[in-house]
Amino acid sequence: MKKISLTFTILLIGLQAFSAAKADVAPVLPEPSIGLSSSELLIVALLLFGVAVLFAAIVILNALKVMIKERMNPTPFVKYQEPEPLDYVEWVKLKKSRPNIWTKILSLRPLEEEESIIIPHSYDGIQELNNPIPRWFNVLFYGTMIFAGCYLYYYHIGNGPKQDEEYLTEMEKAAADKKAFLAVAAEKFDENSVKIDASLVANGKAVFMANCIACHGEHGQGIVGPNLTDEFWLHGGSINDVFKTVKYGVPEKGMASWEKNLSSKNIAEVVNFIMSLQSSKPANAKSPQGEKYEPKSVKDSVNNETIAKN
């Protein structure tokens, strides 16, 4: 029994020592605060309480003053009496209206001054007020008359430009603007505006050699793609049709779209080079494909339109 009691005593002492060591090691968390000590917080609270008590004392003191004054000199009770109705003219005299922006713009008189501007005649009991014309309207009216006189003198009597001279000046300006526009727009081509231009053939050949010979051959004789030197075309043989085919391509026939790889000027150049290959008859030319293209003359177009109208 003594051994068991001694063992429990040793275990109890060990546990106490372990708990004490653990309590020493445990970190102490700081209490949340606003950076003031307890005494400082107490002083702040007392100051706030004092301010509140002072405010309450002032309110109570003013209330006591009113009560004492009323008790010493009580206000007599006066029964409410409805005021007598005023005539419109008297009410207008008592009410002083202030002019607003609209009244100032139209130069209107206030209501209390209406009697001074009444015109001394009436129709069926209706009287008219002689309101003056606004000053800005008079300035605008006489200003237009002065401008008309100056315009007449400068353009019809003086040395101002005449209508025919102004017309010629505007036409010259329009011609200069058109020339500048065409200079800028010369680099822009599409399937509607492209035309045969021999000056584009040389650059078009370079574009053709760099991009088209793999399918159409060096001389346009046709390898994988069709022959470009004969009169037969798969998608139209005019320069507009060829431009459209090169620009948008024909994916179902293996013709890629060159719209994103070539500029509109490059497409116009290569199309002009292709049109220059007509009837060149290169060696080992591919057999014709598509339909024969026959360009329509102006005379034929006029005759066709005449027949259609009749």
Domain CATH for 238: 1.10.760.10
**204 shares a domain with 257:** yes
Residue 55 lies in a domain: no
Q: Is-contact 63 70, C-beta < 8 A?
A: no
How many independent structural domains does the chain possess? Answer: 2
Residue 229's CB is within 10 A of a number of other CB atoms, namely: 21
Residue 258 lies in a domain: yes
Residue 115 lies in a domain: yes
- Among 193, 187, 298, which Cα is nearest to 244's? 193
Per-residue pLDDT 10s for the chain (310 aa) are: 444 454 556 555 655 654 554 444 444 445 555 667 788 888 889 999 999 999 999 999 999 999 998 888 888 878 888 878 877 777 766 766 677 787 777 777 776 677 778 888 878 888 888 877 888 899 999 999 999 999 999 988 888 888 888 999 999 999 998 888 766 666 678 888 888 888 889 999 999 999 998 899 988 898 888 999 888 899 888 999 999 999 999 988 889 899 888 888 899 999 999 999 988 888 888 888 888 888 765 334 333 333 334 4
Q: Is-contact 239 194, C-beta < 8 A?
A: yes
**207 shares a domain with 138:** no
**149 shares a domain with 208:** no
User: Two tokens at 5?
Assistant: 């009691």
- Which residue shows structure tokens 């309207």? 137
Residue 299 lies in a domain: no
**150 shares a domain with 236:** no
User: Two tokens at 142?
Assistant: 């006489």
Q: Is-contact 271 194, C-beta < 8 A?
A: yes
Residue 171 lies in a domain: no
Residue 15, pLDDT score = 56
- Which residue shows structure tokens 């653990």? 22
Judging by beta carbons within 10 Å of its beta carbon (0-12, 13-18, 19+), is residue 26 exposed, middle or buried?
Answer: exposed
Residue 75, pLDDT score = 81
**156 shares a domain with 225:** no
- Among 203, 223, 202, which Cα is nearest to 213's? 223
User: Two tokens at 259?
Assistant: 């719209």
Domain end residue (candidates: 132, 160, 188):
160
**Rounded Cα–Cα distance for residues 67 and 62 (Å):** 9
**Rounded Cα–Cα distance for residues 139 and 209 (Å):** 76
Residue 58 lies in a domain: no
Q: Is-contact 290 225, C-beta < 8 A?
A: no
**Rounded Cα–Cα distance for residues 32 and 53 (Å):** 30
- Structural domain of 251: 198-292
Q: pTM above 0.85?
A: no
**278 shares a domain with 213:** yes
**94 shares a domain with 153:** yes
Residue 94 lies in a domain: yes
Residue 38 lies in a domain: no
